[in-house]
Amino acid sequence: MARSAADPWLDGRPPHLPCGPGDLPEVCLLPGDPARVDRAAQVLDDFRVLGQNREFRVGVGTCGGVPVAVCSTGIGGPSTEIAVVELARLGVRTVIRTGGMGALGAHIEPGDLCVVTEAEREGGAARHYADPEIPALATTTVSEALLAAAPAHFRRPAHRIRVLSCDSYYVGEGRPLDRMEERAARRLAEIEAMGVDAMDMECETVLAVGAAMGLRVGAVLVAHASRASDSWLEDYEPAQLAMLRVAAAAARDLTDTPGV
Ligand SMILES: O=P(O)(O)O[C@H]1O[C@H](CO)[C@@H](O)[C@H]1O
Ligand SMILES: O=c1cc[nH]c(=O)[nH]1
């Protein structure tokens, strides 16, 4: 059968994700970085990579006997929208972003774990799924499962945060490029006035597009940087692994807790 332009799936396989019918369990972790999919091998049992196409690397394993998938989204709204929609149509029911962020408030230190309750909506892709004035909220059961799993893997308490998801990493996150210092400073002041705790580039899309697709949605982020102290976590690996352990434990517990 020929592929349709309006709905370009073939034999139940999507045009972007390297998987097909029956490949994926109910719950999927969503890192931005494809390399974090391979890190999941240190966290999940029986882990195997199903494949990679573009920025979308997909693997499956188990946590406490419960099957858990991991799919990278790449950076920003458009690729994340594609991942979330294709995962939902492949039968995934719960998605949890497992990403990095830049902290704004001094109370969040590099390496701290943050559970996102809401994302400020600045992306482009998600507005096609929910009007911009509709808040992008995490599903409470998902956030609670993440918060419950956190103390076993992080010494410092997890923060509940509101994150700004922005489609620009440099000037959009207030980073001063040559000849754009003033523009970037104005932007940083604008972000600070929003009262958000941190910045990333995908939470809004995961929460808003996932909810529109009928999924349970959540996000757990580790602070890679602090803008308040202008510091950067060079030894990022242990925090990423601890975050993946928290997300895997939540995924396992949520599979025992059906319903939205
Ligand atoms: O750590 P990941 O999930 O890749 O996400 C963060 O890192 C990227 C920027 O370096 C953006 O995608 C941002 O949201
Ligand atoms: O500063 C940062 C770090 C990670 N991700 C971001 O979007 N910004």
Q: Residue 114 is encoded by which pair of tokens? A: 């943050």
Domain 27-162+200-255 has CATH 3.40.220.10: no
Which residue in the block uniquely carries the two structure tokens 């097909």? 20
> Are 216 and 258 contacting, i.e. CB atoms less than 8 angstroms apart?
no
Q: What is the pLDDT of residues 142-154, one digit of tens each?
A: 999 999 999 999 9
Pocket of ligand 1 contains residue 100 by CB under 6 Å: yes
User: What are the structural domain ranges in the chain?
Assistant: 27-162+200-255
Q: Residue 89 is encoded by which pair of tokens? A: 């149509």
Which residue in the block uniquely carries the two structure tokens 């909506």? 121
CA distance 98 to 206: 11
Statement: residue 257 has pLDDT above 80: no
What is the structure's pLDDT at 1? Answer: 75
Helix, strand or coil, per DSSP, at residue 35: helix
Statement: residue 260 has pLDDT above 60: no
CA Rg value for the chain: 18
Q: What is the pLDDT of residues 12-38, one digit of tens each?
A: 999 999 999 999 999 999 999 999 999
- 3-state SS, one letter per residue, for 8-29: CCECCECCCCCCCCCCCCCEEE
How far, in Å, is the centroid of ligand 1 from the Cα of 143? 20
From the centroid of its chain, how far is CA 177? 27
CA distance 74 to 145: 25
Among 126, 119, 167, smallest CA distance to 143 is for 119
How far, in Å, is the centroid of ligand 1 from the Cα of 237? 14
Dihedral (CA of 109, 236, 216, 166) sign = positive
| Average pLDDT for 89-96 | 98
Helix, strand or coil, per DSSP, at residue 2: coil
CA distance 94 to 110: 28
Statement: residue 206 has pLDDT above 90: yes
Statement: residue 118 has pLDDT above 50: yes
CA 208 to each of CA 4, 130, 134: distance values in angstroms, whole numbers, following the listed order = 26, 7, 9
User: What is the β-pairing status of strands 216-226 and 113-121?
Assistant: antiparallel
Q: Whose CA is nearest to atom 2 of ligand 2?
A: 102
The total of other beta-carbon atoms located within 10 Å of residue 189's CB is 10
Atom of ligand 1 nearest to the CA of 169: 9
Pocket of ligand 1 contains residue 169 by CB under 6 Å: yes
